[in-house]
Structure 1
């Protein structure tokens, strides 16, 4: 164990008082470095006398140095010159703060506008009299100490005094410049409007600028949305099957409109206006999958292939460019739930194909495989499946049936993710919201006449719209927070086939169009999202421009796709009796 150093050391007295014994170098130095009393022979050199001493640097600076271990043995009391050079250091922070000495210039410097208070205090009453006598107009006097004044300030004062300020006539010049009278109030809460004599320049300052709108002028009318009540084009569609459960109209991303008329499938090119007949099931009845009427039509994501559902349970896949049939998906040979009419077919964005049967079966195909059947949803609905719609990310499939039930299926399971029984009639109209993938809109039949909006993530209903007629299809607007509904049989007598536009989420009606003489059976939206095609059992197919793009979107997207200027749809021999589309009323 190390030995403790000797505790008694001699510390020279600070005032010649002899050695002082301390217990430790770190002992309380305040008791050792005592200030000298008045009788001490070294008043100026005492530590206590350093406070406020003028001998430490001309400003009364305080001693603020530290005491190290090597300085613990101090010499005899230093004189004032030694203290001035900071030979003694202390290791504690004094209770009083360090005060920076004031320079003589800062003490004696005067203010340009406020007299020097130091001189006024010293002069007493004479200083006040001096301020009273200094009444010179337009001059600035220097009342500071002449000996300590800054040369730059003095020069500025001299330059200001040398500039003459003309005060006479200033009020009259101001009155003429402002065109006002001296006694008139300038600030008033009821200022008079500019007169006609003031000129158009003054009036333009008070003109209200109308805000620019993102909507084209054709869509604005007195603050309300205006949608053309006349179709862009009207085409004849003879022999259209009057069946609510079929899906016979679809518009591809390549701007080809496919419409099924009994046993024929026609393609109308929206860019050129040309029409062709892709297939005729009667003339191909000898082929596998031939014969029967067409009950469902759907395009793939890229618009290269079209799937055709038939009443015998067959599904054909056609290449539009080569006009060749690529594949036939056959029902089972032993019969069963797949040997009935295919009411609806739909493609997922990832290439999966689904078919909904009259028996309530939903079958899923992967057409790249030899055994194309991937999944069978047995008894997905207790009634005919009349509506199928994939979400844009190919994750969820919505289905509606004649059992008044809406279901949402995850492709990874055979159990529905969501099941809702709020509708009171068959559910054919299904539409996923492009602005929110969680929102699904569904429409009911004649006994229901309601549009429900569902949050499929939370499995809850968010809004409901009460309509007055059967809902046959729903279509979201890609450029607006709106949804269009087409209607069939109405509860009100004399009501024709309607197209209604609703805002979302307020669910208020934006506009309505009397589209057809009879109920609207099917509808499809163009790839640019502007034109809605509707077909009715009045054997007319009409194109409505209800979602015209805003100006900014139109400029950014370029010309885009539109309607062609050709002669219209032409099929077969061109006669209505042959099942073709007549050209007699192509344009109106």
Structure 2
């Protein structure tokens, strides 16, 4: 395959290696320079209006011109520096004295205390081959752990890519009877990983020791397509519509069961506080569950049942700077990103993106939201919140961008698509210098070795 993701004639018979890096093809700096964009801040709109109106007056009333009026016009033009021919400006405006308010002229060109706009690269920084990636909207096959290692499921095998040294390793390969792999999720410690299977089971692995610790059984009746950790609780979502909290520290691991969805659960996200869970399903429903309301005796006690989407809800993301703000994205028949107040259940805003919303990620550094999409552009779109103005559109994938994962420092986003390519984008800028290192939580998994 070439860097664009399409099959080339010379490479069709060559073997494809998982997570093999593809060569970068930079755009020519002279491409796409087909137009000038005026600098509005450097334009003199008063002058422009004067020139346009004078030209119009001269054409409409040529007989009304008189020597006195002509002398006045020349004097005014000299005073206001209007003996110019250009109306549009394409460079910074030079310093001028404010003739209307000369006492304030010293402040006219003082620099404003605005944050400089950062450069957002329009091409991916790195591209890896991902042969065998299952093109299934309802699965979750990509995750980036706190130890800076990316996990991706390709068919029946889970691979790890270490971002610190670009090394690749294999966790496990599942046999045909139990596979393929339908979901992966790193535990908070960045060492243990959960692997959801097509046969309804979930395996827990220690990636440092490279060994399986236990298998969670008996909760689901069909494939487990979504996984989400909440400290020592592993929440699983299945094609059977069930959501199950599994306490991995104890032998009888099922602690809570949430029943609301009547089709496959494809999106799961815990809030930063660990008190609320958002779940999206193939039934077009979005639920908000409160941990304090969960009980095995009352499994249907959701906090909010949200029915505004008109297609499957896979993309769900909690806002990092406002605890009760949730973003959700709808599938091909919906195409909308919606924002919710999870305390009241109110829909705060809805944006029609024009294409299937596959995944959502909030920036940890700025008030920005990144979305990935399907047909027709298969792009990633960066939005400014709350105005929802598009800041950038990142293209390169040739099929729908099903999965996204964010690096621990919040800068880089990895995207995986149906074109069997894994791309890395430096979309969120540079991390804060004073940002503390992520906390490593190891104690909840101390009992793994004693549980089978």
TM-score normalised by L of structure 1: 0.54
Which residue does the alignment assign to 1:512?
A: 393
* Whole-angstrom distance in 2 between the partners of 1:519 and 1:507: 22
Evaluate the alpha carbon distance shift between residue 459 and residue 280 of structure 1 in structure 2; reply closer, same or farther with a 3 A threshold: same
Cα deviation for residue 498 of structure 1 reads 0.6
* Whole-angstrom distance in 1 between the partners of 2:340 and 2:418: 31
* Whole-angstrom distance in 1 between the partners of 2:195 and 2:272: 21
Cα deviation for residue 557 of structure 1 reads 4.3
* Whole-angstrom distance in 1 between the partners of 2:178 and 2:281: 26
Residues 53-109 of structure 1: CA deviation (Å, up to 9, x unaligned): xxxxxxxxxxxxxxxxxxxxxxxxxxxxxxxxxxxxxxxxxxxxxxxxxxxxxxxxx
- Aligned residue pairs: how many? 333
Cα deviation for residue 386 of structure 1 reads 0.5
Cα deviation for residue 291 of structure 1 reads 3.0
Residues 92-149 of structure 1: CA deviation (Å, up to 9, x unaligned): xxxxxxxxxxxxxxxxxxxxxxxxxxxxxxxxxxxxxxxxxxxxxxxxxxxxxxxxxx
Cα deviation for residue 214 of structure 1 reads 4.5
Which residue does the alignment assign to 1:543?
A: 424
Evaluate the alpha carbon distance shift between residue 322 and residue 213 of structure 1 in structure 2; reply closer, same or farther with a 3 A threshold: farther
Cα deviation for residue 410 of structure 1 reads 1.0
SS in 2 for 1:469: coil
Cα deviation for residue 371 of structure 1 reads 0.3
SS in 2 for 1:412: helix
Which residue does the alignment assign to 1:438?
A: 324
Which residue does the alignment assign to 1:368?
A: 249
> Contact (CA 8 Å) 1:499, 1:515: kept in 2 or not?
no
SS in 1 for 2:303: strand
Structure 2 runs not aligned, ≥5 long: 1-78, 80-93, 97-105, 294-298, 439-452
Cα deviation for residue 485 of structure 1 reads 0.2
**Structure 1 residue 345 corresponds to structure 2 residue 227:** yes
> Contact (CA 8 Å) 2:157, 2:171: kept in 1 or not?
yes
* Whole-angstrom distance in 2 between the partners of 1:194 and 1:248: 56
* Whole-angstrom distance in 1 between the partners of 2:284 and 2:435: 41
Which residue does the alignment assign to 1:291?
A: 178
1:482 aligned residue (356, 364, 368): 368
Larger Rg: 1
Residues 192-219 of structure 1: CA deviation (Å, up to 9, x unaligned): x999xxxxxxxxx89945456645xxx5
Evaluate the alpha carbon distance shift between residue 459 and residue 263 of structure 1 in structure 2; reply closer, same or farther with a 3 A threshold: same
**Structure 1 residue 390 corresponds to structure 2 residue 270:** yes
Which residue does the alignment assign to 1:102?
A: none
**Structure 1 residue 320 corresponds to structure 2 residue 207:** yes
* Whole-angstrom distance in 1 between the partners of 2:257 and 2:164: 39
Which residue does the alignment assign to 2:281?
A: 401
TM-score normalised by L of structure 2: 0.70
Evaluate the alpha carbon distance shift between residue 209 and residue 396 of structure 1 in structure 2; reply closer, same or farther with a 3 A threshold: same
- State the 4+ residue runs in structure 1 displaced beyond 6 angstroms: none
Q: Which moved more, 1:272-281 or 1:411-420?
A: 411-420
Which residue does the alignment assign to 1:251?
A: 144
* Whole-angstrom distance in 2 between the partners of 1:457 and 1:463: 15
* Whole-angstrom distance in 1 between the partners of 2:335 and 2:178: 35
> Contact (CA 8 Å) 2:194, 2:202: kept in 1 or not?
yes
Residues 137-165 of structure 1: CA deviation (Å, up to 9, x unaligned): xxxxxxxxxxxxxxxxxxxxxxxxxxxxx
Question: Any residues of structure 2 matched to 1:441-460 within 5 Å, and which?
Answer: 441-460=327-346
SS in 2 for 1:409: strand
Which residue does the alignment assign to 1:301?
A: 188
2:405 aligned residue (521, 524, 533): 524
Evaluate the alpha carbon distance shift between residue 347 and residue 210 of structure 1 in structure 2; reply closer, same or farther with a 3 A threshold: same
From the two aligned structures, give the one with the greater strand fraction: 2
SS in 2 for 1:516: coil
Cα deviation for residue 323 of structure 1 reads 1.1
**Structure 1 residue 265 corresponds to structure 2 residue 158:** yes
> Contact (CA 8 Å) 1:498, 1:515: kept in 2 or not?
yes
Structure 1 runs not aligned, ≥5 long: 1-189, 196-204, 221-225, 333-337, 490-494, 562-588
2:356 aligned residue (461, 470, 483): 470
> Contact (CA 8 Å) 1:246, 1:296: kept in 2 or not?
yes
Cα deviation for residue 509 of structure 1 reads 1.4
* Whole-angstrom distance in 2 between the partners of 1:263 and 1:273: 22
Question: Any residues of structure 2 matched to 1:36-51 within 5 Å, and which?
Answer: none
Which residue does the alignment assign to 1:11?
A: none
Question: Any residues of structure 2 matched to 1:70-85 within 5 Å, and which?
Answer: none
